[in-house]
Amino acid sequence: AQPWRGVITEYREWLPVTDATPTITLGEGGTPLVHSSWLSEIVRGDVFIKVEGDNPTGSFKDRGMTAAISVAAGEGAKAVVCASTGNTSASMTAYAARAGLTPIVLVPHGKIAAGKMAQAVMHGADIIQVRGGFDECLQVSRALAKDYPVALVNSVNPVRLEGQKTAAFEIVDVLGKAPDIHVLPVGNAGNISAYWMGFRQYADAGVADHRPALWGFQAAGAAPLVRGEIVREPDTVATAIRIGNPASWSLAEAARDESGGRIDAVTDEQILDAQRELGAHEGVFVEPASAAGVAGLLAAARAGEVATGQTITITVTGHGLKDIDTPLSRIESIVDDVIDPSVEAAAEVAGLA
Ligand code: F0G
């Protein structure tokens, strides 16, 4: 088998690219679909985790960004702009660097994880910190793209969703069928919309024989889709999904309703517990926002809302190393024991002696 070539080449016929479109890729996609015996036992079904933190910049955003940056470069853009809670900017700046485009990013002042900030810095971005949240950053980005020669690459750019839908294709390709339920976190609501497009297109083309129900989970302090109204001051420890007015609001509602799914909220405590349990049980370290889907599935299972015998896939969206401050701040000390270099002492504190 030849090595994975990135989502544009692997799924070319499903994407809005032509022979004239350059392929700006870091080899994104082709991420692991890992069986979880821990979650499978809890839901009494078969649960697989789609580990999107294994993408080149550590999140699912790379799928949409390879597509959006390639199309923008093909159209002659010189500069690109996005608003971000950190992952979009990390990804955008990496792909812009490869394409030779000038990246401009707008992020909420003081509310993005240090690892994500470091990525944008190393990719040579102009980082503009905005006094406000993601929603305000997006407003300014949209206006910049309207009034100045700079292309907007947030998920309101439809090419982003086209790229991101390839994750749904991969799940079906690897499982050999569509899952019964697909679970994922929801923030600006682009990804749930993209998955729905992917699952729908595969079913329409006869590649899959059915479409899964989509179950999305927002953080309780930033759950506009659950509350049915804009949240003016969204707040959650999961900074990646700290969003009060999602751009893909109606697409997400359509994904929920057409798939027979649901969008619900989980608390910060549930998110952080799920993050820790996923790391301890499955060896998968994700950032807090990425654990929202796991937290939601656990809550649903405990409430008796998951029928037995189902095949469930769950996307964890970003790598845990992007934000080490949040999980470590819950732990009293990360150093259990300090010893002199002696076998006896090591054996004793390790409980081996
Ligand atoms: N998980 C992570 C790790 C994210 O970074 C995001 C969004 C989501 C989930 C939610 O996905 O917005 O498509 O519903 N991050 C954006 C950003 C907002 O700027 O990086 P969504």
At residue 332, the pLDDT reads 84
Select from 158, 174, 207 the last residue of a domain. 158
Residue 349 alpha carbon to ligand 1 centre in Å? 41
Count of structural domains within the chain: 2
* Main-chain dihedrals φ then ψ at residue 228, nearest 5 degrees: 75, 20
At residue 320, the pLDDT reads 98
Does residue 348 belong to any structural domain of this protein? no
Does residue 350 belong to any structural domain of this protein? no
Q: By the 8 A CB rule, do 312 and 48 touch?
A: yes
- Kindly give the number of the ligand 1 atom that is closest to the alpha carbon of 83: 19
Residue 139 alpha carbon to ligand 1 centre in Å? 17
Q: How far apart are CA 208 and CA 223, in angstroms?
A: 31
Strand 213-219 relative to strand 262-266: parallel, antiparallel, unpaired? parallel
Same domain, 205 and 75: no
Does residue 343 belong to any structural domain of this protein? no
Residue 86 alpha carbon to ligand 1 centre in Å? 8
* Nearest partner of 56 among 107, 92, 86, 104, judged by Cα: 92
Q: How far apart are CA 151 and CA 158, in angstroms?
A: 12
Cβ(218) – ligand 1 distance below 6 Å:
no
Say whether 245 counts as a known binding-site residue.
no
Same domain, 319 and 241: yes
Same domain, 231 and 295: yes
- Kindly give the number of the ligand 1 atom that is closest to the alpha carbon of 190: 13
Same domain, 174 and 130: no
Q: Where are the alpha helices (DSSP H) in 176-303?
A: 190-204, 224-227, 249-259, 268-282, 292-302
Owning domain of residue 133 = 61-158
Same domain, 199 and 189: yes
Same domain, 113 and 219: no
Does residue 244 belong to any structural domain of this protein? yes
Cβ(289) – ligand 1 distance below 6 Å:
yes
Cβ(113) – ligand 1 distance below 6 Å:
no
Same domain, 67 and 177: no
Same domain, 319 and 236: yes
Say whether 267 counts as a known binding-site residue.
no
At residue 116, the pLDDT reads 98
| Series of mean pLDDT values for 10-residue runs along the chain (353 residues) | 93 97 98 98 98 98 98 97 98 98 97 97 96 98 97 96 98 98 98 98 98 99 98 98 98 98 98 98 98 98 98 98 94 86 96 93
CATH (domain of 213): 3.40.50.1100
Same domain, 37 and 178: yes
Say whether 55 counts as a known binding-site residue.
no
Q: How far apart are CA 287 and CA 303, in angstroms?
A: 25
Same domain, 197 and 312: yes
Does residue 88 belong to any structural domain of this protein? yes
Does residue 341 belong to any structural domain of this protein? no
Q: By the 8 A CB rule, do 104 and 125 touch?
A: yes
Say whether 157 counts as a known binding-site residue.
no
Select from 124, 158, 192 the last residue of a domain. 158
Does residue 2 belong to any structural domain of this protein? no
Which residue out of 60, 192, 241, 287 has the highest number of ligand 1 atoms within 8 Å of its CB and is therefore the one to mutate?
241
